[in-house]
Structure 1
Amino acid sequence: MSRPLRVAVIGAGPAGVYAADILTKSEQPVSIDIFERLPAPYGLVRYGVAPDHPRIKQIIHALRRVLEKPQVRFIGNVDYGVDVKLDELREHYDAVIFSTGAATDRALDIPGVDLPGCHGAADFVSWYDGHPDVPRDWPLTARSVAVIGAGNVALDVARVLAKTADEMLTTEIPDNVYRGLAASPVTDVHVFGRRGPAQAKFTPLELRELDHSPNVEVIVYPEDIEFDEGSMAAIRESNQVKTIVKVLQDWAMREPGTRPRRLHLHFLHRPVEVTGTTEVEGLRTERMELDGTGNVKGTGEFHDWDVQAVYRAVGYLSSPLPEVPFDHATGTVPHQAGRVLDLDEQHIPGVYVTGWIKRGPVGLIGHTKGDALETINSLLADIDGVELDDRPEPDAILRFLADRGVPFTDWTGWTRLDEHEINLGAPSGRERIKVVDRAEMLSVCRED
């Protein structure tokens, strides 16, 4: 081949960056542009991880090393489908890899979810993580709050709601988030899981962190600690499940403490209705029972909980992409080993997918790397021995965007913004304070 393989990656979160990393380590010479809708890279690591989880944010260091490679170029503040179309990308690149992730809330189909005061967890996470495309204010007026879900996102949402604002002030939260949390009158946060403790989807680290706050009492109810044959099998087969169950059992047996705020963990409660007329006034749940397999069935016994806000944390969902096939039932792009398929299940030449939009919003970083490896192997197999067509030289895409009036950012601009945020946090001993406003982000990125 007379020139490097030119690849566009759409999405600068872990999935896209890992795909680029694997490509750079192949024997194939490559030139990779990673496009991102936001001015800053890192995707959900920057805008989906709770600010009091600095350990998880260390992933950014590994992602940065990839983005600093000479074969890789970051192009931020470019919205695929708005600023550039698929056909336009295919004119400039031999292959396009979509890695746009999953950032919206999966629906919860029960009455009352449209009432004011019923929120999607993804929206709340975007608010407290300083996402530039969400409102600066959040309605934190409830004294008692329900969080529906038994995964890590549900625990993140519950923990941020329950903690005092001053506890969060050591993190990177923007000033508007601190002010919002400081004004919150919350005293009780209730987390509801439909199945039993052995079926919870959170990790031991996330669970234990709930009990680290000096201001939040974690309460588990003995009547919710139930196991059937399927639960016992899960405990025997998984050290993670065993650890989670042990922690929950210990908490259920201890005497209540005197910390001023309370975080209640409820299991075997299925939400059936958000109640209220003009706003959230309560949550109704049905008591469930284990059926012997680890699944549950209803008992016909209902409970009404006095809450003034409800947060749905029942899973993330990917959004459709213009000009790309999409399976609305699964929230994924149809593919075969990462090759995007058209309506006739034929591979669209040069178009690939990886990450959550490929497999759905499940799995951890290791799964994301495996996804990327499969996709890159397919891409490399497709171009093996193929003479590459002529393409415009690499900087042509930058002139194309500039001519279209797109105020794109680059890696140098991001390093300016990164340093600016770090400097904002330094006087108060914080690692950084995020810049929230998109115009301000762009101004810092693009200053001469």
Structure 2
Amino acid sequence: MASFGKIRWISRSISTLSSPPLRICVVGSGPAGFYTAEKILKAHEGVEVDVIDRLPTPFGLVRSGVAPDHPETKIVTNQFSRVARNERCSFFGNVSLGSSVTLPELRELYNAVVLAYGAESDRSLGIPGEDLAGIYAAREFVWWYNGHPDCRNLDPDLKSTDTAVILGQGNVALDAARILLCPTKELAKTDIASHALSALEESSIRKVYLVGRRGPVQAAWTAKELREVLGIKDLHIHIQQADLVTTPADEIEMKNNRIRKRIYELLSKAATAGQGPAPGQRELHFVFFRKPDRFLESDDRSGHLGGVRLEKTTLKGDDESAKQVAVGTGEYEDISCGLALKSIGYKSVAIDGLPFDNYKGTVPNLGGRVLADASKDHMQYETGLYVCGWLKRGPTGIIATNLYCAEDTLACISDDINKGVLSSNSLKPGREGLRQLLDSRNTRIVPFDAWEKIDLEEKRRGNLKNKPREKITTWDELLEVATE
């Protein structure tokens, strides 16, 4: 850790400036981070905003989470790029909170810090066999096919089995199923990572089971995502008719939620559309009212996944939340498989100096203001410290959800500025101080114009293969291209 004396020296060295700007640092360059930066810049003229990210590449899950065959969703990066090019904004790529710079140091360098670094870990099922080879978090699998440098070498074995089980029924689970089952000729036209495309071209996966604890009425995906996977060419859809039988409670849920009703209708139509699979046809099985009990070891390969044991469930009303919850029945069944993806939720990670709720995977906050102590009658806030995005509310929602989340956090920041809680009279070194601190630690900063070199090179390589871009997927090459 750098001495705070050095940072104070930096502050004194620029103390002769008149009317210094308010300086705010946003940690995380995904949708939550860039929407927050954009709204701060628009709402407060003269405020300087710096966005830092541990990756050399900006845009967070827009780059590493959005499926490669969803290019329209990625158009938002044009808007974020305009924010980064604003003369009052700077991007610091390849800067990791906790190792490159600590949170206490950022708080001394800036008038305010907004944490929007998302969720880079995963929830655990906590069941036997979870450490067997062949089991991955869906996040890892998504990062792998999207070319995230942390998962470049994941190398899931897609050739030793014809069956994959995906635990979870949200949009991430549907994306993973679609990537496993979609014709690779279609994926070849996208920005999917080349290593993933090669593996998928040689894949033996022919059956995918999407497993959910509750029923088709409670599935968490969107109608758009569901229609996409149901529309895959030459794919047999299997849904047990018994799973489509609704209860009065289901009918109430559908009456109160148009999206749930639409999803149920799509599934019902798909279930009656065909008979059994044709020889060699790929299959997608929607499995409802089942929860994972344990992973089973392969009889043929020690230490490798051989199947998943599922417990049948039934739904019971939860009086507190007015939701139906799944409870086990004590009946079990096994699905043989050699690949399993856990799509049960991303989880944010704690950092030193930050209050953190380990159970929820979020930072305790009220509207975006970080709570130093929420246990007392009078809530105490961490002055100048805010959160936005998944770190604030948990890993839910779509990209646009972060827009409203950022507005919520901005309202807190603006209120604190207007009340004088955040004041430019408290001179802070901001980006110049951050640069000096990072330089003293030999941290290689990737500014936005260096990212643009990566961007141009990826597009150039993609053009040679008739793709929108050919992603650079290793840390070394990303940094090499950035500094050329």
TM range (shorter): over 0.9
Q: Is 1:33–1:75's contact at 8 Å kept on the other side of the alignment?
A: yes
Could you tell me how far 1:373 is from its partner in structure 2? 1.7
Which residue pairs with 2:217 in the alignment?
198
Q: Look up the equivalent residue of 1:445 and give its one-letter code.
A: A
Task: Tell me, in whole angstroms, the C-alpha distance in 2 between the residues paired with 1:427 and 1:412.
Answer: 23
Which residue pairs with 1:42 in the alignment?
59
State the aligned residue count: 447
What SS is found at the alignment partner of 1:342? strand
Which residue pairs with 2:416 in the alignment?
382
Q: Is 2:173–2:210's contact at 8 Å kept on the other side of the alignment?
A: yes
Task: Tell me, in whole angstroms, the C-alpha distance in 1 between the residues paired with 2:27 and 2:263.
Answer: 37
> Are 1:139 and 2:176 counterparts?
no
Which residue pairs with 2:483 in the alignment?
446
- 1:215-269: CA deviations, max 9, x gaps? 4322222122121122111211222112111110011112235372111111111
Q: Is 2:56–2:446's contact at 8 Å kept on the other side of the alignment?
A: yes
Which residue pairs with 2:203 in the alignment?
184
Of the structure 1 ranges 344-353 and 142-151, higher mean CA displacement relative to structure 2 is found in: 344-353
One of 378, 394, 405 as aligned partner of 1:360: 394
Q: Is 1:30–1:71's contact at 8 Å kept on the other side of the alignment?
A: yes
Q: Is 1:229–1:294's contact at 8 Å kept on the other side of the alignment?
A: no
Query: TM-score scaled to structure 1, two decimals?
Result: 0.95
One of 232, 244, 250 as aligned partner of 1:213: 232
One of 430, 455, 458 as aligned partner of 1:421: 458
> Are 1:281 and 2:318 counterparts?
no
Of the structure 1 ranges 127-136 and 410-419, higher mean CA displacement relative to structure 2 is found in: 127-136
Q: 1:393 to 1:375 in 2, by over 3 A?
A: closer
What SS is found at the alignment partner of 1:281? strand
Q: 1:296 to 1:397 in 2, by over 3 A?
A: closer
Task: Tell me, in whole angstroms, the C-alpha distance in 1 between the residues paired with 2:179 and 2:255.
Answer: 32
1:10-409 alignment to 2 at 5 Å? 10-136=27-153, 137-140=155-158, 141-256=160-275, 257-258=277-278, 260-276=281-297, 278-291=303-316, 294-343=324-373, 346-384=380-418, 385=420, 386-392=423-429, 394-409=431-446
Task: Tell me, in whole angstroms, the C-alpha distance in 2 between the residues paired with 1:214 and 1:279.
Answer: 32
Of the structure 1 ranges 222-231 and 285-294, higher mean CA displacement relative to structure 2 is found in: 285-294
Q: Look up the equivalent residue of 1:314 and give its one-letter code.
A: I
What SS is found at the alignment partner of 2:445? coil
Which residue pairs with 1:434 in the alignment?
471
- 1:412-431: CA deviations, max 9, x gaps? 11111111111111122211
> Are 1:411 and 2:428 counterparts?
no
Q: Any stretches of 5+ residues in structure 1 without a counterpart?
A: none
**Root-mean-square deviation (Å):** 1.9
Q: Look up the equivalent residue of 2:384 and give its one-letter code.
A: G
Q: Look up the equivalent residue of 2:156 and give its one-letter code.
A: W
Task: Tell me, in whole angstroms, the C-alpha distance in 1 between the residues paired with 2:314 and 2:383.
Answer: 50
Q: 1:388 to 1:28 in 2, by over 3 A?
A: farther
Q: Look up the equivalent residue of 1:375 and give its one-letter code.
A: T
Q: Any stretches of 5+ residues in structure 2 without a counterpart?
A: 1-17, 318-322
Could you tell me how far 1:408 is from its partner in structure 2? 1.0
Of the structure 1 ranges 332-341 and 191-200, higher mean CA displacement relative to structure 2 is found in: 332-341
Could you tell me how far 1:7 is from its partner in structure 2? 0.5
Of the structure 1 ranges 426-435 and 32-41, higher mean CA displacement relative to structure 2 is found in: 426-435
Task: Tell me, in whole angstroms, the C-alpha distance in 2 between the residues paired with 1:353 and 1:7.
Answer: 13
